[in-house]
Structure 1
């Protein structure tokens, strides 16, 4: 059965970096970053755009899950509420797949260091640090497999996830 690997975590946790590495480790696979559906200028998070983004994500996920060429569909996004998972799954009704929900947990210190590096590199604005730190407690409550990436490289985290997905090991190290 196809596996839909959903990787979530706060901004700066390493979702995109881990997903890119995971794409290399799992074959045949495809990778979708939910942020790609938000790549707009100006960025406006209103009701109309939120609905459009969820429609687009669901369309792409359905297309990938329907495609016989892929066994693994990797999807990462800043999913900070269970309701977002439920909304995505409701839009995939009728599809046959096994969901694997993984939260990338990161310590506040490690998160600050990563985000400061992104700010210095011009990749993010400085206000992301406060917003991302404020969301950390939301991820502790997620009904997912939790993987602490505070001291893991993206390659190490992806290797752990690939082993977890392929072997079905129910523990998190």
Structure 2
């Protein structure tokens, strides 16, 4: 345990190993969680919202730690996050999910340059960019679906600007498009 705490950058790991979580900062608790995940020497580290509730400086440290561990230990990392800034900074490939389903998969550059799914495009348009001065961010119209209700077609159809009758009746499957995949009956209309 002490070696793992040292590996993830906990200062004075011998002194910290017997401390309770409330005695540690948020960043230190996140490091302890990462150390716990590495205890069984996994080939894959799944980091689910690893930067939530951390300040920007600590977020950067945790993301750097995960990247360093990935290189040092030769592991793969699946990063689950809603923070598109984090995605842009650390990911190679991205899976965009809506209502529990993958709607687009692409390399990071293609996704940000030309999203193929209307939801992915809406996400990117509703994200603030420091290099562009806007008065208001675009919103994705409507509300997310009730996950208790099974939808026959595409779950994004009620909110989609590109919706067709087929979207409402038949769930799209992932299809190869460019360097990635998209689950949309009208992806070419979205390219801009």
Q: TM-score, normalised to structure 1's length? A: 0.32
- Larger Rg belongs to: 2
Higher-helix-fraction structure:
1
Q: TM-score, normalised to structure 2's length? A: 0.29
